[in-house]
Homo-oligomer: A and B are copies of this chain.
Amino acid sequence: MLGQDLYLYESISLQLRRHIEGGSYRPGQRLPSVRSLSRLFNTSVNTIIQCLRQLEQENYIEIRARSGTFVAACPPAITTGAAEFEFLPVEISLSDDILHYMEPHHQLDLIHLGIALPDPQLMPMERIMNTLRDITRKQPLDVWDYTHPKGHQRFTLQLARRSLHYPNPISQDDVIITNGCMEAIDLALRTVTRPGDTVAVESPTYYGTLLALEVLRRKVLEIPTSPSHGICLSTLELAFKHRRVSACLVSPNAQNPLGFTMSEENKQKLVELATHYNIPIIENDVWGDTLYSDGAMPAKAYDHAGMVLYCHSFSKSLIPGIRLGWVAPGRFHHRLRELKLVSSITTASAPQLLLARLMESGFYAQHLVSLRQQLAAQADRVRQAVLEWFPPGTSVQQPSGGCVLWVVLPSHMNSHSLFEEALRSGIHIFPGSVFSPGQRYAHCLRLNVGRPVNSAVLQAVRRLGEIARRTGSPTEGPTSDG
């Protein structure tokens, strides 16, 4: 391979690398086929294959047998910060946007594809309400009184038992009951960081945690995150090594909005990094109980040193309105317990008794089996509908759990306009821009697939696709639609 061939080969490699570094092809996305590339670059299939092999050796891409060629979860250009991810902590100012985008959740006359939440139809409403009634009948004094600040023993025991199979089980004594997962995360952030500190997060990440970071006046460092493999560990290690961050907030299972689940190996590596560099991990596992398949554990399972503040709740898997969550803060237990004590003394008792009973009887575990199946089927069906109706170039990652789809539109599109126009059509969606402080994902949107897929949902997706095609057309705006 000499002369012009070498030149051509290097030139094609360089161009492909630039496309990856520049974000035209993002981590996890598929590259054009070998045949298409050979046509595009007007060269032989063999040359293209050689280019791709080199790029694979350099960790820019992954070649998967029978599937094609994909940008690596964590390409080197990104890790060194040369590409679109700027390796700089930033202050956040998203709260006005976030509140604006959340507001329609309480309008009854909309198709709700905005807030990430399974529909109450998927929940055992009768069993929940019956059990609550039974508790008010049989344990009125428990319902009435302050519970112990550490939580109701029957409940904390069940929570600890969830971790029996973990390499490092959670002890009942480490559990602190909270008002939902958000309180757990808020307390965890306030326990291990101070105003002005920087926290590493996945990119994109749940806007609620960005809002918490903004309100608590923490800075944020976005770490490149593969839509299929999760946070880039080598970039994270750089951030740890250079003491750029005081903590790392991640969601390794069924991440919102991307829907990935990190491999058990990577979770273990994540915890090892945190332990090695002595930087706490706040694990948001609010979606952990909705994983479509079995076998995944939270990162906390690998936490022998107590570096993970594990946050979890039942809002997404059973009932949000009782505001029940919990945290296992590991070595940060004492300070977090103090903050909890003065933030609300103790958490309400009836919700704890409800969950204790539903877990003791095995009912909750059974319910999860059907919930997961339904969510997986709904996600699949809506995903197909999006791929069918949205403009060419739209891609949608297959989620591994939860009830959201992350829809990546062609890069010139703007999901804020889409939000406004969808709202006028009676549909609530969430624009991608608020999932990153840098407005990095303005061409993306998140769809809640928590609702059973009926014709109303499918029509809404079709209508969204139409709006997207129209607003994304060269002569943008509603008037351009003939």
Contacts and interface: CB of A to CB of B under 8 A. Distances in A.
Interface string A101-133: 000011000000001010010010100110011
Interface in A304-333: 315, 319-323
A339 interface: yes
A237 interface: no
Contacts of A132: 132-133, 136, 143, 350
Given A120-B141, A348-B348, 18 more contacts: A99-B341, A106-B148, A117-B146, A128-B144, A132-B143, A143-B319, A143-B322, A179-B179, A179-B343, A179-B344, A179-B348, A180-B344, A186-B344, A215-B342, A216-B342, A323-B344, A323-B347, A348-B351
Given A133-B136, A350-B321, A186 B342 contact: yes
Top 3 A-B residue pairs of the complex, sorted by shortest distance between their CB atoms: A212-B342, A179-B344, A129-B136
A320 B140 CA distance: 12
A145 interface: yes
**Number of copies of this chain in the oligomer?**
2
A85 B140 CA distance: 46
A452 to B, nearest CB: 16
Contacts of A115: 146
Interface in A200-239: 208, 211-212, 215-216
A345 interface: yes
Contacts of A178: 344
Interface string A461-481: 000000000000000000000
27 contacts: A99-B341, A105-B146, A115-B146, A120-B144, A129-B136, A129-B137, A129-B140, A132-B132, A132-B136, A133-B137, A142-B321, A143-B322, A144-B320, A146-B321, A179-B179, A179-B348, A183-B343, A183-B344, A186-B342, A186-B343, A208-B342, A211-B342, A212-B342, A321-B350, A323-B344, A323-B347, A348-B351
A182 B346 CA distance: 10
A279 B108 CA distance: 42
A397 interface: no
A349 interface: yes
A180 B345 contact: yes
A394 interface: no
A145 B133 contact: no
Given A343-B182, A346-B323, A125 B106 contact: no
Contacts of A140: 125, 128-129
A147 interface: yes
Nearest to A132: B136
A95 interface: yes
Contact of A320 (B95, B146, B216): B146
A95 B335 CA distance: 11
B321 A182 contact: no
B120 A320 contact: no
Contacts of A123: 144
A349 B323 CA distance: 9
B144 A125 contact: yes
A338 interface: yes
Interface string A176-192: 00111011001000000
Contacts of A147: 321
Interface string A341-373: 111111111110000000000000000000000
A91 to B, nearest CB: 15
